Amino acid sequence: MAQAAAGNVLRASLFAVPVALAFHDVIGSPVQVEGRSMQPAINPHLGPESQQGESLDVVWQDKRSISRHIYERGSIVVFRNPFDPKERVVKRLIGVDGDWVRPRGNKHNLMRVPEGYCWVEGDNHGVSGDSNHFGPIPLALIEAKVTHVLWPPGRMRSLGQDLPEIHRGLNPSQA
């Protein structure tokens, strides 16, 4: 009897594990976001002296839209750090290839985002390492679009694509 139960568990696991992995890799998954660079959209409660273990926002990363190469200005995206591929970073997509952007601290000069690249910035400029520091990043580094805050329950909501006022993305007709 115990052998039959163990066999059932094994068969169920052999089905469930590949399905769960495929869901994670193709559809999406929850991910915990550290840091203050995306405040106020993500982790608005964190202060400069945040403690280890303090509650962090958990967001949904949607991989379907990125697999279809849909890059929308204003979306919050997850991408691989261009200098440390093991690290994933969450920032807002400000400009895509062909767009004109105004790098922070450079009021008068515009920069055109090269073909196959994008410009990303954190909403909280004071603490964000982003394209203003490392330049445009290849679109191929983008892995997912952040669509919802899942945790904590009181902050559960959809994250839109509206560009906050602080971002200076310009469309090609404004150049």
User: What does pTM read for this prediction?
Assistant: 0.82
DSSP class per residue in 55-70: ---EEEEE-HHHHTT-
The pLDDT of 109-123, averaged and rounded, is 95
| Residues 6 or more apart whose Cβ sits within 8 Å of residue 36 | 43, 46, 48, 50, 124, 127
Domain 30-174: CATH class, spelled out:
mainly beta
Q: Which of 37, 75, 128, 131 is catalytic?
A: 37
| Residues 6 or more apart whose Cβ sits within 8 Å of residue 161 | 72, 73, 74, 75
Q: Which of 63, 91, 128, 145 is catalytic?
A: 91
128 is catalytic: no
Q: Is the pLDDT of residue 116 over 80?
A: yes
Separation CA 44–CA 7 (nearest Å): 48
37 is catalytic: yes
Q: Given pLDDT bands bounded at 50, 70 and 90, which one contains residue 81?
A: very high
119 token code pair: 């410009």
Separation CA 80–CA 128 (nearest Å): 15
How many CB atoms are located within 10 Å of the residue 101 CB? 23
Q: Domain locations in the chain?
A: 30-174
